[in-house]
Amino acid sequence: MSYVGPEFEPPQQRRPRRGPLTVALAALVPGALLGWVVYEAAGGSAADGSGRGTSAAPTSVSSPASPRSASPTDDAKASAGAPASGSLKGKVVVIDPGHNPGNFRHTAEINRQVDIGTNRKECDTTGTSTNAGYTEARFTLDVAHRLRALLEKQGATVRMTRDGDGPAWGPCVDQRARIGNAAHADAAISIHADGAAQGDRGFHVILPGSVHAGAADTRPIVGPSRDLGTRIAGTFLRATGEPPSNYLGHGTGLVTRTDLGGLNLSTVPKVFIECGNMRDSKDAALLTSGAWRQRAAQGISEGIVSFLRTS
Ligand code: ZN
């Protein structure tokens, strides 16, 4: 995604100073990772990513010991890495690889406005790329394929919003949401990588904020999506070692937004993940590595599987 534009403040002013310490602590206590992320998220960002401006200091770095409010046994399961035995047969996951390599050649089509409930917005965007030209659209499809293989191995049914042999552009963001809805997905994930400034690093998971306007009504999915996203943030961090974003989310790796059609129009639990910043040289080195993308897919998969086993 490339919603991060030049209007942003200089990175230094947005960097939560305690981020690295929090990460280090969390890494030392992997079993409590999810609890940590949940805890950090409690003081987290406001809708529309506006949380980036104010620097609400993380309340406490001793929070890894905090139990999750939901069900502590799930923590144990998730923290064990490999999911417990048992098939995910009957569970449906929709994977949405962000953008489309053909979008660059179909600007008229993707600039067409679609209704996302709260307002109208472009059908899709081109996405970003590394400075060397590796596109976000290629990255997202590759991670999606790896993730699909991992989930299918667990017995889940996987649908993709686009695949290599798909349409020349899009689909539009409203359609991407509707594919998940029509599939009655138990979980849906939209995969992206960001296009922020050099020096901005790390991943973040985007959760749907509560919206109720037009065709958008996220109220039923806000809670389960937060659960899904929190799990993915924890397992992604552990699998990849990629730190939570140092430019959004105050070191929690979680951001809530109400301006994304793919979330606003979803009726199934859904989150986005921005796996890293393609415009940062250190992150780009990771994002362009197949071995790293496999770890990314593994981390996302573990979070989804953990969510599915309790839903
Ligand atoms: Zn994107």
- DSSP state string for 217-280: E-HHHHHHHHHHHHHHHHHHHHHH-PPBPSSSGGGSSEEEES--HHHHT--S-EEEEEEEETTS
Q: How many CA atoms lie within 13 A of 13 on its CB side?
A: 7
Q: What is the pLDDT of residues 50-92, one digit of tens each?
A: 333 333 333 333 333 333 333 434 433 444 444 445 689 999 9
pLDDT value at 304 more than 80: yes
Contacts of 215 (CB under 8 A, 6+ apart): 115, 116, 117, 265
The pTM score is 0.76
Q: At what angle do helices 33-42 and 219-240 cross, to 10 degrees?
A: 130
Q: Kindly give the distance from the C-alpha atom of residue 285 to the centroid of ligand 1, in angstroms, as a whole number.
A: 18
Confidence of residue 1 (pLDDT cuts 50, 70, 90): low
Q: What is the pLDDT of residues 220-231, one digit of tens each?
A: 999 999 999 999
Confidence of residue 167 (pLDDT cuts 50, 70, 90): confident
CA–CA distance, 158 with 60 (Å, rounded to integer): 39
Task: Note whether 43 and 256 are within 8 A (CB).
Answer: no
Instruction: Please give the average per-residue pLDDT across 165-175, as a whole number.
Output: 92
Q: Kindly give the distance from the C-alpha atom of residue 275 to the centroid of ligand 1, in angstroms, as a whole number.
A: 10
Residue 113, phi then psi, degrees to nearest 5: -80, 140
Lowest-confidence pick of 124-138, 161-175, 259-273? 161-175
Task: Note whether 97 and 144 are within 8 A (CB).
Answer: yes
Kind of pairing between the strands at 204-208 and 254-257: parallel
Residue 179: helix, strand or coil by DSSP? helix
Q: What is the pLDDT of residues 99-156, one digit of tens each?
A: 999 999 999 999 999 999 999 999 999 999 999 999 999 999 999 999 999 999 999 9
Q: Considering only the top CATH level, what class is 22-62+85-310?
A: alpha beta
Residue numbers annotated as active site = 274
Where in the chain are the domains? 22-62+85-310
Q: Kindly give the distance from the C-alpha atom of residue 127 to the centroid of ligand 1, in angstroms, as a whole number.
A: 5
Q: Kindly give the distance from the C-alpha atom of residue 215 to the centroid of ligand 1, in angstroms, as a whole number.
A: 23
Q: Kindly give the distance from the C-alpha atom of residue 176 to the centroid of ligand 1, in angstroms, as a whole number.
A: 13
Output the DSSP codes for 130-166: -TT--BHHHHHHHHHHHHHHHHHHTT-EEEES--TTS
Q: Kindly give the distance from the C-alpha atom of residue 12 to the centroid of ligand 1, in angstroms, as a whole number.
A: 23
Q: Kindly give the distance from the C-alpha atom of residue 73 to the centroid of ligand 1, in angstroms, as a whole number.
A: 34
Nearest to 253, CA basis, from 4, 13, 51, 77: 51
Average pLDDT in the chain: 81
Q: Kindly give the distance from the C-alpha atom of residue 304 to the centroid of ligand 1, in angstroms, as a whole number.
A: 20
Q: Kindly give the distance from the C-alpha atom of residue 300 to the centroid of ligand 1, in angstroms, as a whole number.
A: 16
pLDDT for the residue numbered 29: 39
Share of the chain above pLDDT 70, in %: 72
Q: Kindly give the distance from the C-alpha atom of residue 67 to the centroid of ligand 1, in angstroms, as a whole number.
A: 33
Instruction: Please give the average per-residue pLDDT across 166-175, as a whole number.
Output: 93
Residue 194: helix, strand or coil by DSSP? strand
pLDDT for the residue numbered 268: 98
Q: Kindly give the distance from the C-alpha atom of residue 76 to the centroid of ligand 1, in angstroms, as a whole number.
A: 32
